[in-house]
Structure 1
Amino acid sequence: MTNSQYTVADVMTTTVVTVTPDAGFKEIVAAMERWKVTAVPVIEGEGKVVGVISQADLLFKEEFHQHRTGMIEQMRRLSDTAKAGSTHARDLMTSPAVTIHADATLPQAARLMAERSVKRLPVVNDGGVLKGIVSRADLLKIFLRSDDDLASAIRREVVDRLFPVSRHGVRVDVESGVVTLSGAVRDAGLIPVAERLAHTVEGVVAVNCALTGP
């Protein structure tokens, strides 16, 4: 019912540090250090994402540098030990990459990150070509919306639509993202709906509903 569904396109970073499959280990580390990033997409051709390399992928080389693994551990951690002995992006990257489209909603992005245990997602088009990257920190940007902006959105998208007759008797106060709805409305049955919809407005931290019926 609300129009405040922000998408990945609204918060993603469009300038992305990338490497090719032929990039060497030191080249990758240098790129991460220079641009202060913790992961880089691996692209080929016209920008198609074929994998992602994170600091975790690179640290296996340090972990196994002086640690001689037994046969059982080697079998259990075949992927990790393989990365420890690799020198190029094609062998270090996690592939296929977990990606998302720019029109996905922020809850969808957050859910995918949680389900796949990743901290960022390359944003691609239908052809898998890189368009940006979105991180956990990017998803939190929505909570930087001003209180005035949130109040206007809730009044426009919730109060005015649910209570067209009694909307002038409803007060919307927002402080640090916490919304308080107060006043009297004609249809008390819609009060729980108003509280639920206010929660769905992007950037809202919490809702206190003090609305009353006639």
Structure 2
Amino acid sequence: MRHRSVGDLMTPTAITVRPTTAFKEIARLLKEFDITAVPVVDASCHPVGVVSEADLLDRRSAGGAATAGTLMTSPAITARPEWSVVRAARIMRRHQVKRLPVIDAKDRVIGVLSRSDLIRLFLRSDHAVQEEIVEDVLTRTLRIAPSTINVAVEDGLVTLSGVRPRPELVPVLIRLCQSVDGVVGVDDRLTCAEAGHD
């Protein structure tokens, strides 16, 4: 079972600017490419900061000429392509940023991950989520007969009902369900099997 990574969701070959890029050029790039922020990179394409629409508006109200180097928020909060989307989302929330420049092993910018990219994960249909849990989580990974556990998905909320598997498998089952793209929560309604003797 393979889960989406930052590299799967990011917009590749990110639009970048240099610290010397002028205010008007940054504004033009944001409008032309319909983006809300742009990474600022040095001569080696290493990120040194990020300039957002908010940075431009703040400076505009203050007046005066400006460059990316004077406008940017620094240092740049970055992500790696191999990161899970959950990790990237936590970094965004912790640092209160809307997008992350994605860097390769040499710390060069290779793309940008935005919050809208992450939101796309939760637009998967409930049927697609249910199908993945039944086929990948239950059958292939845990080798649990789908006939023993009912998987219902509504608006991304997964409800598990039926016969509870071996106790040690329950937390694993729930964790695997939570990691499926599009799942917003898991409701465990599994019940113990009959003892089978008096």
Shorter-chain TM-score above 0.5:
yes
Q: Which runs of 5+ in 2 are unaligned?
A: 194-198
Instruction: Number of aligned residue pairs: give it.
Output: 192
Q: Is residue 59–residue 71 contact of structure 2 (8 Å, CA) maintained in 1?
A: no
Could you tell me which residue of structure 1 aligns to residue 181 of structure 2? Answer: 202
Query: Which SS does the other structure have where 1:99 is aligned?
Result: coil
Q: Distance in 1 between matches of 2:48 and 2:69?
A: 9
Q: Distance in 2 between matches of 1:49 and 1:148?
A: 40
Q: Which has the larger radius of gyration?
A: 1
- How far is 1:7 from its partner? 1.1
- How far is 1:47 from its partner? 2.7
Q: Which of residues 33, 45, 48 in structure 2 aligns to 1:47?
A: 45
Q: Which of residues 94, 106, 110 in structure 2 aligns to 1:131?
A: 110
Q: Which amino acid aligns with 1:11?
A: L
Could you tell me which residue of structure 2 aligns to residue 91 of structure 1? Answer: 70
Is it true that 1:57 corresponds to 2:55 in the alignment? yes
Q: Is residue 188–residue 212 contact of structure 1 (8 Å, CA) maintained in 2?
A: no
- How far is 1:189 from its partner? 6.4
Could you tell me which residue of structure 2 aligns to residue 77 of structure 1? Answer: none
Q: Distance in 2 between matches of 1:99 and 1:186?
A: 41
Q: Which of residues 166, 174, 178 in structure 1 aligns to 2:157?
A: 178
Aligned-residue CA RMSD in angstroms? Answer: 2.3
Q: Which amino acid aligns with 1:51?
A: G
Could you tell me which residue of structure 2 aligns to residue 8 of structure 1? Answer: 6
1:88-117 per-residue CA deviation (whole Å, 9 max, x = no partner) reads 222222222111111111111111112212
Q: Which of residues 25, 30, 33 in structure 2 aligns to 1:32?
A: 30
* Structure 1 residues 191 and 129, CA gap change in structure 2 (3 angstroms): closer
* Structure 1 residues 186 and 12, CA gap change in structure 2 (3 angstroms): closer
Could you tell me which residue of structure 1 aligns to residue 83 of structure 2? Answer: 104
Is it true that 1:141 corresponds to 2:117 in the alignment? no
Q: Is residue 187–residue 213 contact of structure 1 (8 Å, CA) maintained in 2?
A: no
Q: Distance in 1 between matches of 2:65 and 2:54?
A: 14
- How far is 1:128 from its partner? 1.7
Could you tell me which residue of structure 1 aligns to residue 191 of structure 2? Answer: 212
Q: Which of residues 140, 155, 166 in structure 1 aligns to 2:134?
A: 155
